[in-house]
Structure 1
Amino acid sequence: MPSADTLERFIARVEANAHVEAVEEFYAADSTMQENQNPPRIGRDKHAENERKVMARARSVSSTCVRPVFVNGDHVVIRWIFHFEWQDGSHTHMEELAYQRWEGERIAEETFFYDPAQRVPKKP
């Protein structure tokens, strides 16, 4: 179960758009990350690599935690809103729920739930 301080530090990292750093600091080495019903990615290094690729495509990113954050033992649910401005001038606005299972102070499993239609970039 994450401490309240750890959870707040994690949220602050993501809201600062330090997504790669958040993965490196708060995910277990063998953690899994899954989007909707897609097969999960396994391993912190793969998660960080995926975040680097996404961030390299973005001109800017805005990340917001919508409170309250729900915590029940080792399980945490966070509602996120992300706005991406892409290098080509298009943008993506996404809202998702992240369902996490923590082992101590590290995220062991995470599943994101969102409408996949949100992923389609909108042209300016």
Structure 2
Amino acid sequence: MPTTETLERFIERVEQGLHAEAIEDFYAENASMRENLAAPRAGRDRLVAHERKVLARAHSVQSTCVRPVFVNDSHVVIRWIFEFAWKDGSATRMEELAYQRWEGELIAEEQFFYDPAQMAPTRNA
């Protein structure tokens, strides 16, 4: 179970736009991530590489934690809003729930729940 301080540092890191660094610092070496019901990606290095690849396509990302954060023993649920400004001039606003299982102070498993229709970018006027 993460301490409140650890969870707040994790949220702060993501809200600062340091997504890949948050994975490096707060995920177990063998951690997995899963998008809705897709097959999970496993291994912290692989998760970091995937995150950096997505972020390389973005001009900027605004990340906001919508509180409250729900904690029950080793399980945490965080509601996020991400606003992407893509390098091609389009934008995406995405809202999701992240369901996490922590082992001590590190995330072992994470599954994201969101409407895939949100992924369609819109053109900025």
Q: Give the TM-score, by structure 2 length.
A: 0.98
Distance 2:56 2:11 in 1: 21
Distance 2:8 2:123 in 1: 34
Distance 2:15 2:39 in 1: 26
Counterpart residue number, 2:20 = 20
Does the alignment pair 1:61 with 2:61? Answer: yes
Distance 1:7 1:91 in 2: 29
Counterpart residue number, 1:106 = 106
- Structure 2 stretches of 5 or more lacking a match? none
Distance 2:2 2:67 in 1: 17
Distance 1:91 1:50 in 2: 20
Counterpart residue number, 2:72 = 72
> Percent identity over the alignment?
67
Distance 1:121 1:3 in 2: 37
Counterpart residue number, 1:7 = 7
Counterpart residue number, 1:95 = 95
* RMSD, matched Cα: 0.4
Counterpart residue number, 1:46 = 46
Counterpart residue number, 2:84 = 84
Distance 1:31 1:66 in 2: 24
Superposed displacement of residue 91, structure 1: 0.2
- Structure 1 stretches of 5 or more lacking a match? none
Superposed displacement of residue 123, structure 1: 1.4
Task: Give structure 1 regions of 4+ aligned residues with deviation exceeding 3 angstroms.
Answer: none
Amino acid at match of 2:70: F
- Equivalenced residue count is 124
Superposed displacement of residue 99, structure 1: 0.1
Distance 1:55 1:103 in 2: 27
Distance 1:39 1:120 in 2: 21
Q: State the secondary structure of the residue aligned to 1:49.
A: helix
Amino acid at match of 2:114: Y
